[in-house]
Structures are given as structure tokens and as C-alpha cells.
């Protein structure tokens, strides 16, 4: 039996016979879960924490090592007496893939059993469109990544794919992209790849990645603001992702915030996203350039339709006055929107992430200032505002970890 098969047998819901066999399976799962949550431990540590006899723990650990699921990491340091061996998860026992789909590219990463990102390919060119051709191209990119990873396919237990817009992570349906057939999108991709596939909203996945391996330290109530071409929010309450009834929570960008006539991508008018998003920033820059405003972008971009969010970010980094001024104005509007969320959720931490957050303090400082101005002082004093620590890797890490948790029931 392969290592991955041994792992899936331990975590399957099927009962194996009964009596001793079932009990051993339950205890093995407890050992793996303990090492996953708290890191490498000795036999004595495992025996104490799980309230299982030392001989029984030793026997089960040896079986898990033979199956390739655990590793003997050698002897621990000791000031005296016999040195005990330390045991941990076998990093190459299995792998998980995270796919973070952006407007013009995808980020794809490979996570090992010990939650280390082994390989990450960022900004692989890809045009996200609501067409069959675009879906086919996405599947092709994933297949290419799997081939180039050189990891045996049977060791890849699951793939997590992040998409913007409305995604039901339970049913596997996407309602904003690739909603062509009766069959759930997750099932369609799974059939093409031959690997279990899960869908997740991109903001939720990024929030999950940052919570477990990014900017979060001890905080349990966190809002992740995804500032990209659109604007979304991943909500973590009491250390768990909050989905709402149908998985559509966090549509921060679609709060009716303005009395303007700008039609949002959702079809409504006046959404926050119409003034606070990467798409809005592009529109504002184009308007100013058309009026003759001075900017290095007027020389770099020959055709207005070629202007991308990354061009504006780079201009700000080069201290372009127009880019910086518009980011400051947008930051203030963002801060007003955040004040609404702060007053509602009273979180310990707000993380600004996504492509637009790469502008750093050009956006964060005016947002923080406006947040202080428009939210209740007793509430905002509880809240830190940080920039994403993982950056482009947030969605990849989140996609991998969510797929891992669903397969292994952690």
C-alpha cells in the first residue's frame, strides 16, 4: 500500500472491521492530529497528551513510520540521562495543490504534509474570462504544474482552487465564473485532473492562509480585506472562517456606499467597489490622464485600454504624484468602509491584502487615519491594521491548507 493510501485509510470514515482494528485506526489518527497541531514530540509527550500507554504509543508510531506517515527525527538534546527520540510527520507522505486565480494570471503552489510550500509558481500568464476556453486553459495550467512538480500523482491528495465572486465551497458551484453546466465546477475540474478538487472564494482562502501562516499571531477575530481588481473580505471569527448560510459572506465591495451612477460588476449602482478597488483606480487614472494630468504613466502607456493595476502600483513606487494622490484618496474611502466593518465586528486585526495592498503605506496610512476618524473610538482602539505578510502566496497557502483540512478532517 502506498504512503498516500495508508494516510487516506487512517482518515477515511469507513470502519475497518471493528474492535482492535477500529481502535488502532482511531489512535493513529489522534497521533497524527497531535503532531500536526503541536509539532514534533517524543513517545513520552504523545503518551502523556493522548493518555495512551507508552508501549501502545510505541507500537502505533512504529507502524506509522513503516507506512511512511511519520519520521524518526533523531535524538533530542538532553542535559543528562538517556536521550529520547523525536517523531514528526513525514513531509513527503502526501501533497496538496493550491491554485489562486487572478484577473491576468494564476499562482500555483505545492504543499507537503508538514505544511511547507515546496514549490510556488507566481504570476503564470492566464486570462480569466467567463468562457469555456478560459476554463480549459486553467485546467491545462494545473496539469502542466503537476507534471513539472515531478511528484507522483497518487501522492497529491487534493487541489484547492480559489475564484473571485460567489462560490459555494460545500456544493462546489461557482456562480460568477464557469457556470455553464448543471454539474458543479469542482466536479468538472476533478474529473479532468483525476484528483479531489475543492472550490473556495479567493478572499476566504487568502484569509485562511494569513491566519495560519501569515500576519496573524494570537488574534482569533480577523478580517482580511482583499484589494484587487474587485474588493472582498474574508471573515474569521473565533479562529474559524465565517461563511454565512450559502457561503457568500464577505461581499464587502458590494455594500451600497455611494449615490453615484457607476454600474458595478454585480449589476448594481453605488457599490463600494465602484470607488474602492483596482478597477476603480484604473478608471480614475484614465480620467485624470484624459484631462491632461502629469504622470509617468502617460509616457509608458500608449493606449488607455492597456493600463493595468500593476502599472499604477509601479508608478507609485517611483513616487509618481498622480498615482500617490489617487491612492491616498482611495485609502480614505477604504477607511470609511473599514469603519463600518470595525463597528460591526470589533475585530482584533484587519489585514490589507491583494494586489492593491502592494502599494503599502500609500494606501494603509490614509485608510488607518480615516478608520480612526469614522469608527467608534472605543472600538477602533481594539483593532490593528496590518499589511499582508504572505503577499501573492496568501491565496496559494490558503487553497492548499483548506484542501488539506477537508481531506484529512483536521
Same domain, 196 and 339: no
pTM score above 0.85 = yes
344 falls within a domain: yes
Q: Count the domains in the chain.
A: 3
Cα 55 to Cα 80: distance, rounded to the nearest angstrom: 23
- Residues of the domain holding 28: 3-89
Q: What crossing angle do the helices spanning 20-38 and 43-50 adopt, rounded to 10°?
A: 110
- Specify the pLDDT at position 80: 57
Same domain, 267 and 401: no
C-alpha cell at 236: 474569521
Cα 31 to Cα 100: distance, rounded to the nearest angstrom: 32
Residues with pLDDT less than 70, the chain: 1, 13-18, 78-81, 410
Same domain, 227 and 292: yes
Cα 204 to Cα 209: distance, rounded to the nearest angstrom: 9
- Specify the pLDDT at position 18: 60
212 falls within a domain: no
Q: How many CA atoms lie within 13 A of 38 on its CB side?
A: 13
Same domain, 177 and 314: no
Residues in the chain: 410
Same domain, 85 and 100: no
400 falls within a domain: yes
- Domain with residue 384: its CATH number is 3.30.420.40
- Specify the pLDDT at position 380: 86
pLDDT tens-place string over residues 264-296: 989 999 999 999 999 999 999 999 999 999 999
Map residue 225 onto helix, strand or coil.
Answer: strand
- Among 27, 57, 89, give the residue marking a domain's end: 89
- Specify the pLDDT at position 42: 94
Going by C-alpha positions, the residue among 180, 92, 190 that lies closest to residue 142 is 190
Same domain, 116 and 63: no
Amino acid at each position: 500500500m502506498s504512503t498516500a493510501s495508508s494516510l487516506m485509510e487512517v482518515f477515511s470514515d469507513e470502519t475497518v472491521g471493528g474492535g482492535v482494528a477500529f481502535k488502532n485506526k482511531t489512535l493513529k489518527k489522534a497521533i497524527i492530529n497531535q503532531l500536526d497541531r503541536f509539532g514534533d514530540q517524543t513517545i513520552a509527550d504523545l503518551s502523556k497528551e493522548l493518555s495512551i500507554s507508552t508501549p501502545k504509543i510505541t507500537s502505533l508510531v512504529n507502524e506509522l513510520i513503516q507506512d511512511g506517515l511519520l519520521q524518526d527525527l533523531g535524538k533530542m538534546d538532553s542535559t543528562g540521562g538517556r536521550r529520547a527520540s523525536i517523531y514528526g510527520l513525514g513531509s513527503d507522505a502526501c501533497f496538496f495543490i493550491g491554485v489562486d486565480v487572478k484577473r491576468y494570471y494564476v499562482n500555483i503552489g505545492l504543499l507537503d504534509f508538514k505544511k511547507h510550500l515546496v514549490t510556488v509558481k507566481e504570476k503564470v500568464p492566464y486570462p480569466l474570462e467567463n468562457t469555456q476556453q478560459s476554463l480549459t486553459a486553467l485546467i491545462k495550467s494545473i496539469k502542466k504544474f503537476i507534471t513539472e512538480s515531478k511528484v507522483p500523482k497518487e501522492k497529491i491528495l487534493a487541489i484547492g482552487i480559489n475564484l473571485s465572486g460567489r462560490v459555494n465551497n460545500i456544493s462546489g458551484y461557482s456562480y460568477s465564473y464557469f457556470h455553464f453546466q448543471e454539474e458543479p465546477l469542482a466536479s468538472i475540474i476533478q474529473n479532468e485532473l483525476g484528483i479531489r478538487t475543492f472550490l473556495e472564494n479567493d478572499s476566504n482562502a487568502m484569509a485562511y492562509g494569513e491566519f495560519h501562516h501569515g500576519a496573524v499571531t494570537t488574534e482569533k477575530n480577523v478580517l482580511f480585506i482583499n484589494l484587487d481588481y474587485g474588493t472582498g473580505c474574508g471573515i474569521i471569527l473565533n479562529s474559524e472562517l465565517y461563511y454565512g448560510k450559502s457561503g457568500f459572506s464577505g461581499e464587502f465591495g458590494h455594500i451600497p456606499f455611494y449615490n453615484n451612477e457607476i454600474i458595478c460588476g454585480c449589476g448594481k449602482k453605488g457599490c463600494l467597489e465602484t470607488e474602492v478597488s483596482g478597477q476603480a483606480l484604473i478608471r480614475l487614472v484614465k480620467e485624470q490622464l484624459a484631462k491632461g494630468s502629469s504622470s509617468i504613466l502617460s509616457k509608458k502607456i500608449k493606449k488607455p485600454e492597456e493600463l493595468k493595476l500593476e502599472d499604477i502600483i509601479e508608478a507609485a513606487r517611483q513616487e509618481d504624484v498622480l498615482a500617490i494622490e489617487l491612492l491616498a484618496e482611495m485609502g480614505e474611502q477604504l477607511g470609511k468602509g473599514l469603519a463600518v466593518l470595525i463597528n460591526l465586528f470589533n475585530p482584533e486585526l484587519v489585514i490589507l491584502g491583494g494586489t492593491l495592498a502592494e502599494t503599502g503605506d500609500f494606501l494603509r496610512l490614509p485608510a488607518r487615519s480615516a478608520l480612526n476618524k469614522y469608527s467608534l473610538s472605543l472600538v477602533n482602539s481594539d483593532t490593528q491594521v496590518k499589511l499582508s505578510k504572505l503577499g501573492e502566496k496568501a491565496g496559494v497557502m490558503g487553497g492548499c491548507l483548506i484542501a488539506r483540512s477537508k481531506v484529512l478532517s483536521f
